[in-house]
Amino acid sequence: MFRAIANRGDGLTEARSRTIDSRVRCLHTALLVGVAYYLGALIGFALTFPDEAVSTLWPPNAIVLTALLLASTSEWWIVLSGAFLGHLIVQLQSGIPLPMILGWFVSNSTEAVFGAFCIRRFTKGPVDFANLKTVTVYTGFAVILAPVLSSFLDAAFVVLVGWKNDTYWEVWRMRLPSNAVAAITIPPFFVLWLTNGNVWLRSSVWRYLEAASLVCGLLAVSFAVFCQAAPGPETTPALVYLPLPFLLWAAIRFGPAGASATILLVALSSICGAFRGGGPFTGISVAENVLSLQLFLIAVSLPMLFLAALVEERREKMKVLSESEARFRTMADTAPVLIWMSGADKLYTFFNKVWLEFTGRSLEQELGNGWAEGVHSEDSRRCMETSTISFDSRQEFTLEYRLRRYDGEYRWILTNGIPRFAADGSFLGYIGCAVDLTERKRAEDALRESEQCLAQTEKVSLVMVTHTDLEGRWLKVPPTLCELLGYTEEELLGRSFQELTHPDDVDLNWRQRQRLIRGEIKSFDLEKRYLRKDRSIVWVYVNVTLVTDRDGRPLHCLSYIRDITERKQAEEALRESEKRYRIVAESASDVIVTIDETSTILFSNAAVERVFGYTPKELIGRKLTVLMPESLRRRHEEGMHRYLDTDKRTFSWNSASFPGMHKSGRQIFVDLSFAESRVGHRRLFTGIIRDVTERRRAESRRNTQHAVTRIL
């Protein structure tokens, strides 16, 4: 009882501790937002031109938007509480009446909440400015729509309170570009760097040197353009575009993070320069100077954000494509078929490891049209013509030809090519696989030889001719039929053919016979099975006609019988060969798994559900150790770390046996072979896993039986 009371007390203490931590975290968040809002308002006041009511750049709204984008929706009330505290303090210090303070906070918070809500609603993911959709949604809602709508509120509050003497539309016009510029320059920088800054900072020395060169160059150009140059008749207007090459440099080389940082730097430089009386934005009235500066910043910043997003999106697509290609090459090299790939120019660009091992040639020798050197001279022209026609028509093709193996023997190859198309429909070339069907060809040759032998047999009267009465009883049987069925002539005469016909074939045979007797057909033929005396089955081809008297009355039936058992067996062998070919060509029965350096599963085929009980979807993103017994997991992790550090293998990668763990918890045994590939700085490992549990169990039972036998 005392233990239960103690445990309950520990639980209450832990819950109370979590509550206190949560409250402290909420307080820290509110204070941090409040301080940032307060400092942002001071900066906004400092960036207000003389005789202007609205700042050139108003950071507080953008700061609240940044905090909302970084926080979860359940914490938005904390962000708004901290922002209200900072807003109240800074406005009271400025002597703003309370109604105006409340009205401005309502308009400011409405702008930030509306923008954050719409961005979260339509992006469905992190706001990383790494694709055109995210930048478009951000621009549409945070830069345009939210400032436009909140400016109506702001102007209405100013007119209702009677603050200063500005008209409704004057307030709306001044507030809109100020908040739009802030939304463009501030949130992208802080959202990106607070989210991923620690990752980007872990770069190479050359990356740091390039970034330093970019920043120094941009600072120098910005100082010369916005701080030193004074407006006048000798001033070249084109000087304002000198920072543009550095902005392009940042967008292309450093993506959204670099673009947002340089945009903020240009914005601060241009505004500070204008306040000091330098730059191109001081030559006309104050209102026009402010508007010109704001329009310049918007016109320069938005294209850079879109360009950076486009570059980053393309970079991510290339990364995914590179990883996909690496996985494909690894899988292709471990597949049990010959795989090739060509470009749109009809030149072959890839052959897998199995192909190269089959031909005994290097990849460089096979590329282009080098593979055609191994095609048999009698098939070469037909092979090239079929390929050319298929390429020109962009159609799938199937081709049989003879290809020289590494030992000089020409083997029959069946290849199937499928055209490849890009997402925009453009033709990329072909991908295909080929299998060695020499054995199937030999089976076909054997079938043809069997049929030829059968034809020769028919020529020397080995066709069995029999007579049966209208009830199906044999009246005459040749010796060859007796030998075929294993009966003597006396045993067959007087017996009905139905007694020796396979039960599944009796009904069809009898119906056709009755139609023949009724005169509905003149003859019929069919393939059927006879049961020999030893109950084995033989296949025969039967052609039956009706013998009548002069008046047309039926007398008996005349049957011509040929033994087609060998042909049927050859056909069955051919079907089995084709079935095996389809299984090999269309699917893999073994488990194929790809992992990264952390043993995280990146890919798995459908066979994993049969072997381990997991669906591929359940395994993606999980550790490979989930498929191992507990005793092997630590050894696997240590072995993986040791190999990554030393590149030394401690066992053969071609074939190794390990115990595995089924989803149900039972242990299985598997054979494993795998290979390594590299994609940039990443190292991927693809393995083929075969379930050998039953084989191991059979071996164990056999060993046990042998041991018992030796003991006895």
- In the block, which residue shows the tokens 């991923």? 196
Give the pLDDT band (50/70/90) at residue 566: confident
Amino acid identity for residue 179 in this structure: N
For residue 617 the two structure tokens come to 């979807």
What's residue 587's pLDDT? 64
What's residue 114's pLDDT? 92
Closest to 216 (Cα-Cα) out of 174, 262, 185: 262
Quick check: helix, strand or coil at residue 540?
Answer: strand
Give the integer Cα–Cα distance in Å for 712 and 638.
46
What's residue 2's pLDDT? 34
Closest to 349 (Cα-Cα) out of 322, 319, 370: 370
Ordered DSSP codes for 573-595 = HHHHHHHHHHHHHH--SSEEEEE
- Those residues whose C-beta lies under 8 Å from the C-beta of residue 405, and which sit 6 or more positions away, are 358, 359, 360, 411
**Helix residue spans in 73-97 (DSSP H):** 76-93
77 pLDDT more than 60: yes
Give the integer Cα–Cα distance in Å for 308 and 248.
8
Highest-confidence range of 227-241, 389-403, 684-698, by mean pLDDT? Answer: 389-403
Give the integer Cα–Cα distance in Å for 457 and 340.
46
| Number of C-beta neighbours around residue 135 at 10 A | 25
For residue 183 the two structure tokens come to 């939304």
The mean pLDDT value of the chain amounts to: 82
What's residue 545's pLDDT? 92
198 pLDDT more than 80: no
Give the integer Cα–Cα distance in Å for 177 and 379.
74
Say if residues 623 and 600 touch (Cβ distance below 8 Å).
yes
What's residue 117's pLDDT? 92
* Higher pLDDT among residues 348 and 606, named by residue: 348
Q: Is the backbone of residue 66 left (phi > 0), alpha (psi -120 to 50) or beta? A: alpha
Q: Per residue in 641-670, pLDDT tens? A: 888 888 887 767 777 788 888 988 888 888
Give the integer Cα–Cα distance in Å for 133 and 330.
33
* Higher pLDDT among residues 628 and 53, named by residue: 628
Closest to 450 (Cα-Cα) out of 327, 573, 305: 573
Amino acid identity for residue 141 in this structure: F
Least confident of 18-22, 86-90, 465-469: 18-22
For residue 6 the two structure tokens come to 């103690």
Give the pLDDT band (50/70/90) at residue 457: low
Least confident of 15-19, 125-129, 469-473, 696-700: 15-19
Closest to 565 (Cα-Cα) out of 533, 542, 538, 532: 538
Closest to 186 (Cα-Cα) out of 305, 63, 336, 310: 63
Closest to 512 (Cα-Cα) out of 504, 501, 502, 523: 523
Which uninterrupted H or E stretch holds 525? strand 523-531
4 pLDDT more than 60: no
1 pLDDT more than 70: no
What's residue 577's pLDDT? 64
Give me the mean pLDDT over the 197-202 stretch.
Answer: 72
Decide: pTM greater than 0.75. no
Closest to 466 (Cα-Cα) out of 481, 456, 455: 481
* Higher pLDDT among residues 121 and 25, named by residue: 121
Give the pLDDT band (50/70/90) at residue 461: low
* Higher pLDDT among residues 19 and 37, named by residue: 37
pLDDT above 70 covers what percent of the chain?
87
| Number of C-beta neighbours around residue 691 at 10 A | 20
585 pLDDT more than 60: no
Give the pLDDT band (50/70/90) at residue 459: very low
229 pLDDT more than 70: no
Q: Per residue in 484-530, pLDDT tens? A: 889 998 998 888 888 999 999 989 999 998 999 998 999 999 999 99
* Higher pLDDT among residues 587 and 380, named by residue: 380
**Helix residue spans in 344-473 (DSSP H):** 353-359, 363-366, 377-393, 438-459
Give the pLDDT band (50/70/90) at residue 456: low
Give me the mean pLDDT over the 577-595 stretch.
Answer: 65
- Those residues whose C-beta lies under 8 Å from the C-beta of residue 222, and which sit 6 or more positions away, are 243, 265, 266, 269, 270, 273
Query: Within 13 Å and on the Cβ side, how many CA atoms surround 206?
Result: 1
What's residue 113's pLDDT? 92
Quick check: helix, strand or coil at residue 375?
Answer: strand
For residue 96 the two structure tokens come to 């703003």
Give me the mean pLDDT over the 473-493 stretch.
Answer: 88
What's residue 600's pLDDT? 92
Per-residue b or e along 355-392, where b marks 16 or more CB atoms closer than 10 Å to that residue's CB: bbebbebeeeebeeebbeebbeeebeeebeebbeebbe
Cα angle, residue 541 at apex, residues 538 and 542 outer, rounded to 5°:
115
Say if residues 94 and 43 touch (Cβ distance below 8 Å).
no
Q: Cα separations (Å) of 490 from 134, 437, 474, 481, 496?
A: 93, 48, 10, 12, 13
711 pLDDT more than 70: no
What's residue 49's pLDDT? 60
What's residue 657's pLDDT? 82
Closest to 214 (Cα-Cα) out of 240, 252, 247, 184: 247
Torsions phi, psi for 673 (to 5 deg) = -135, 140
Q: How far is CA 139 from the centre of its chain?
A: 30
* Higher pLDDT among residues 12 and 391, named by residue: 391
Give the integer Cα–Cα distance in Å for 173 and 215.
34
Torsions phi, psi for 464 (to 5 deg) = -90, 120
For residue 614 the two structure tokens come to 């997991």
| Number of C-beta neighbours around residue 170 at 10 A | 16
Q: Cα separations (Å) of 6 from 16, 20, 414, 628?
A: 15, 21, 76, 39
383 pLDDT more than 80: yes
Highest-confidence range of 29-33, 236-240, 704-708, by mean pLDDT? Answer: 29-33
pLDDT above 90 covers what percent of the chain?
8
Give the integer Cα–Cα distance in Å for 433 and 369.
17
539 pLDDT more than 90: yes
Q: Per residue in 265-317, pLDDT tens? A: 888 888 777 766 666 665 555 556 667 777 888 888 888 889 988 888 888 88
Give the pLDDT band (50/70/90) at residue 118: very high
Give me the mean pLDDT over the 368-387 stretch.
Answer: 88
Give the pLDDT band (50/70/90) at residue 194: confident
Closest to 137 (Cα-Cα) out of 174, 188, 200: 188
What's residue 281's pLDDT? 64
Say if residues 400 and 435 touch (Cβ distance below 8 Å).
no
Q: How many residues does the chain have?
A: 712
Torsion angle, alpha carbons of 642, 647, 649, 653, to 10: 120
Say if residues 532 and 504 touch (Cβ distance below 8 Å).
no
- In the block, which residue shows the tokens 């807003």? 87
For residue 549 the two structure tokens come to 């008297």
Torsions phi, psi for 465 (to 5 deg) = -110, 125
Give the integer Cα–Cα distance in Å for 439 and 548.
50
Cα angle, residue 344 at apex, residues 342 and 350 outer, rounded to 5°:
15
